[in-house]
A and B are shown apart, each in its own frame.
Chain A
Amino acid sequence: MMKDSPPRRPAMPPIGPIKVALFLVCLLPLAHLVQAGLTDALGANPIEAITHATGDWTLRFLLITLAVTPLRRLTGAHWLLRLRRMLGLFAFFYASLHFTTYIWLDQFFDLQGIAKDVLKRPFITVGFAAFVLLIPLAATSNSFAIRRLGGRKWQSLHRSVYAIAILGVTHYWWLVKKDISEPLLYGSILAGLLGIRAWWREVERRKQLAGEYMPKAKLGRKVIQIVPK
């Protein structure tokens, strides 16, 4: 974990108050939605408006969560890591609202219709898969689970968030009728966030390969062991 820490270490800000403030900020999209619902400001198709808003915020929180590690590495503000769990859980929170909206308001518990949708509509299939894959991550997002699974196992499980984010953007991409400008924006940001990880990993790999100081016997093993943050 500490291997690639930049030398600079900004002073640790008060994490407690920051967490409380962040929690409230993360609830703002929901508050806005509830307010719009109560004041008839959701437009002519309120169910669609709720579906889109909760879906948008799921994607946004996924991207924000994925931005924590690069941001931390670029700024040296390691305390950011302590906000990541909350951000990830908010992604799951909005995903749950999105899913509930679909099941309840959109399909009205028409299980047959839902099953047909999940199997036949690719955009629903990938969205559903993304949601299902988020559940174990949310369920293991506590210190107890980390201890029980062990850090490495836990980490590899939580790397599935990369796939989940790709599925999420694909879900949006396949949904739109023609104008893909917004899915393209989400896709580009995600590509950037994943790309920077791949780049760092590659740099690390080359550094190690070039490292003549490393005992030859250990080299092969070392290369495989390297994991990106």
Chain B
Amino acid sequence: MLIRRPADIAPSEITPRALFEDRRRFLQTLSGGAVAGAALWAGFPSTARAAPQKLAPLTPSPFNVKEDKTPYKAVTTYNNFYEFGTDKEDPAANAGVMATRPWTVKVEGLVGKPRSFDIDEILKLAPLEERIYRLRCVEAWSMVIPWVGFPLAALLKQVEPQGSAKYVEFISHYDPKIMLRRPVLDWPYREGLRLDEAMHPLTLLTVGLYGEVLPNQNGAPVRIVVPWKYGFKSAKSIVTIRLVEREPVSSWTQANAAEYGFYSNVNPNVDHPRWTQSKERRIGEFSKRPTLMFNGYADQVARLYQGMDLQKYY
């Protein structure tokens, strides 16, 4: 017998009440309440988006933060993905042309079993988890995003890192035909982690958000998410993962080493040379909130940096 199930509504379709009300409050603060009606209207979520592919089943994660999630619309329209333009709205407008299938990720360097992974293999490599993480951008704004993925360690173990491998370098896709040709950064975008950082259970090989495959502007089809570091450390649209002996130079460090160090751990006590890092604006909130040491993940990661001068290794 066929039992008709009610239509699934993705959690992403529902704007959390708190945010809905928060936006009202924001607008009312601006206008002294004169536009409550307009604000109510403005608060409705947009329904005009194509249904992306769902990712399921998802295992819940013990690392989830309990804070309100940033709405899907903000997560997918306010992005730094310089290959598609340097304004926040550019990636959402321009990244659609990037083909994310077929897609392979080469894992090479100091490993016992170098190989390429097809994106469909990656999706089946380990159980997919939903990880609700804080994201803190170096520009002093933040979000809370329900990512989907599994620990990068699961992939790295498959290639058997050699003893001499101390660092992991990530190289992003670069196609000058569809991406920025101006050398704003040294393309392709490169990032890096220490091997122990890369193997940390919080470091997520990420294939989705809000229960669906990653939108292109968020780094489809596969990226990493390192929640205790500034956002630019989490490379998007990765095509190569290389295990190396020496500290790799990331594109941002190469561009300005005094401002963007290799570690770039979220740290309210070490200011960016041009602005303070002690506070941040959570997207959707009016007042700034204090920035937390290691973005609130100190219990999990502080031991990685024991004995290190974090003013020096910023």
* Interface size band for B: 35 or more
What 1/0 flags go to B271-285 for Cβ under 8 Å of A?
100111001010110
Complex-state Cα separation, A40 to B77, whole angstroms: 13
Any chain B CB within 8 A of the CB of A43?
yes
Q: Which of A38, A121, A178, A181 contacts B35 (CB 8 A)?
A: A38
Contacts of A178 in B (CB 8 A): 82, 86, 184-185, 255-256
Complex-state Cα separation, A46 to B73, whole angstroms: 14
Contacts of A37 in B (CB 8 A): 27, 30-31
Any chain B CB within 8 A of the CB of A4?
no
Any chain A CB within 8 A of the CB of B141?
yes
Contact, CB under 8 Å: B42 / A45: no
Any chain A CB within 8 A of the CB of B53?
no
* Interface size band for A: 20 to 34
Contact, CB under 8 Å: B276 / A121: yes
Contacts of A147 in B (CB 8 A): none
Contacts of B281 in A (CB 8 A): 45, 47-48
Complex-state Cα separation, A178 to B85, whole angstroms: 12
Complex-state Cα separation, A108 to B286, whole angstroms: 9
Contacts of B30 in A (CB 8 A): 37, 105
Contact, CB under 8 Å: A38 / B38: yes
Contact, CB under 8 Å: B274 / A44: no
Chain A nearest Cβ from B45, distance in angstroms:
10
Complex-state Cα separation, A120 to B271, whole angstroms: 10
Chain A nearest Cβ from B27, distance in angstroms:
7
Contacts of B287 in A (CB 8 A): 108
Contact, CB under 8 Å: B42 / A179: no
Contact, CB under 8 Å: B256 / A39: no
Complex-state Cα separation, A47 to B23, whole angstroms: 12
Contact, CB under 8 Å: B274 / A121: yes
Any chain A CB within 8 A of the CB of B54?
no
Any chain B CB within 8 A of the CB of A195?
no
What 1/0 flags go to A15-46 for Cβ under 8 Å of B?
00000000000000000000001111001111
Q: Given A45-B281, A122-B274, A177-B139: A40 and B42 within 8 A (CB)?
A: yes
Complex-state Cα separation, A197 to B89, whole angstroms: 38
Contacts of B276 in A (CB 8 A): 113, 116-117, 120-121
Residue of B nearest to A47 (CB): B281
Any chain A CB within 8 A of the CB of B26?
yes
Complex-state Cα separation, A19 to B167, whole angstroms: 65
Any chain B CB within 8 A of the CB of A154?
no
Residue with the highest number of chain B CB atoms closer than 10 Å, among A37, A122, A177: A177
Residue with the highest number of chain A CB atoms closer than 10 Å, among B82, B88, B89: B88
Complex-state Cα separation, A181 to B182, whole angstroms: 10
Complex-state Cα separation, A46 to B185, whole angstroms: 27
Any chain B CB within 8 A of the CB of A94?
no
Contact, CB under 8 Å: B38 / A121: no
Contacts of A43 in B (CB 8 A): 77-78, 88-89
Any chain B CB within 8 A of the CB of A93?
no
Residue of B nearest to A50 (CB): B30
Contact, CB under 8 Å: B275 / A39: no
Any chain A CB within 8 A of the CB of B296?
no
Seen from chain A, the residues whose Cβ lies within 8 Å of a Cβ on chain B are 37-40, 43-48, 105, 108, 113, 116-117, 120-123, 174-175, 177-179, 181
New A-B contacts (12) at CB < 8 Å, excluding given A37-B30, A44-B77, A44-B88: A43-B88, A44-B70, A44-B73, A44-B74, A45-B283, A47-B281, A48-B141, A108-B288, A116-B276, A117-B276, A120-B271, A174-B274
22 sample A-B contacts, Cβ–Cβ < 8 Å, listed by A number? A38-B27, A38-B35, A38-B38, A39-B38, A40-B43, A44-B284, A45-B141, A45-B283, A47-B286, A48-B141, A48-B281, A105-B30, A113-B276, A113-B279, A117-B275, A117-B276, A121-B276, A123-B274, A174-B274, A175-B274, A178-B82, A178-B86
Seen from chain B, the residues whose Cβ lies within 8 Å of a Cβ on chain A are 23, 26-27, 30-31, 35, 38, 42-43, 70, 73-74, 77-78, 82, 86, 88-89, 138-139, 141, 182, 184-185, 255-256, 271, 274-276, 279, 281, 283-284, 286-288
